[in-house]
Amino acid sequence: MIHPIAELRHWWWRKRLRNKDVTIISENCWGGFMCQFTGMRYNSPFVGLLVPAPDYIKILRSLREYVEGTLHEIAWEESRYAENLKRFNFRFPLAVLTPTNGGDPVEIHFRHGTSFEAEATKWYRRAKRVNYDNIIVKLAERNECTAKEIAEFDALDYPSKVCFTVNKYDYPSTRQIKVANYRRRGAVYNEWKYCGSVYNFAEEANKLIDNRH
């Protein structure tokens, strides 16, 4: 359930958003929720999935090559993160994404998917919509994300990037979300629900087109 204040904030974002073609690159469902809140279509394949933070940083270093790469299904036992996956009481499709430039393959976990074939079809379709000149890049302090990945993320050359964190970091891209349960869990979760207090999605998206002039 979303708090009424958050609902009002999302309504305001919909009213204020002018950059409706922005591409959101996110390692989890956050990007999909931003699209839903603002009425945008999915201009990115990074929807309904999870990418462990070390793999995600690799993707961001060669974004086009990975987005235009090839997916191959793998079994859970083949995952480099198999031990962590044991905590889930249901199975979802896992894939390895191989970039076009011959770089390191990375894992994509289709957390909300039921079949690899269906998720791969959606990935390839949405990959064609990516606008590399109109991108917001997001990370959160969760899913194998440590201080190392946060520092690497902040150093990446993207005009609009944000990292939601539990702890306070002195990086321009980080936004600390002060939710009590975050401290107890030691990780960010459901940041789509709580990020509005520290981040204005519509404003950041609009800056991308305003800065072109």
Cβ neighbour number for residue 17 with a 10 Å cutoff: 19
Read off φ and ψ for residue 154, nearest 5 degrees.
-65, -30
Q: For every one of its 213 residues, what pLDDT tens digit does the chain have, with 9 covering 90 and above?
A: 556 667 777 878 889 999 999 999 999 999 999 999 999 999 999 999 999 999 999 999 999 999 999 999 999 999 999 999 988 888 999 999 999 998 899 999 999 999 999 999 999 999 999 999 999 999 999 999 999 999 999 999 999 999 999 999 999 999 999 887 776 677 888 888 889 989 999 999 999 999 875
Total tally of structural domains belonging to the chain: 1
What is the per-residue pLDDT for 40? 95
Residue numbers of the domain that contains 105: 4-210
What is the DSSP secondary structure assignment for residue 50, as one 8-state letter?
A: B
Q: Please give the Cα distance from 63 to 67 (Å, whole number).
A: 6
Residue 154: the pLDDT is: 98
φ and ψ at residue 131, rounded to 5 degrees: -105, 105
